[in-house]
């Protein structure tokens, strides 16, 4: 995923399916300057990771 798409998903009121490797994630924040995103893995709010947006994949419905 590119940084622009990650920001669009983060700022949207719609829900998009995003994965990090094989885990479903929610984008919590996008750091444009560094090309990074903070995501919550699954439904566990304490399981957050900061990863390169290149590692995120949007799953088309």
Instruction: Report which DSSP code applies to 45.
Output: T
**Model pTM above 0.95:** no
The kind and range of the H/E element at 51 are strand 48-52
Identify whether the C-beta of residue 56 lies closer than 8 Å to the C-beta of residue 6.
yes
* Fold classified for 3-59: SH3 type barrels. (2.30.30)
Q: Where are the domains of the chain?
A: 3-59
Residue 25 pLDDT greater than 80, yes or no = yes
How far, in Å, CA of 32 to CA of 17, rounded?
Answer: 21
- Check residue 60 and give its pLDDT: 86
């Amino acid at each position: 995923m590119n940084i622009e798409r990650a920001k669009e998903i983060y700022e949207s009121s719609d829900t998009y399916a995003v994965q990090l490797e094989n885990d479903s994630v929610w984008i919590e924040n996008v750091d444009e300057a560094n090309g990074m995103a903070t995501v919550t893995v699954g439904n566990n709010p304490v399981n957050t990771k900061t990863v390169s947006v290149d590692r995120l994949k949007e799953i088309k419905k």
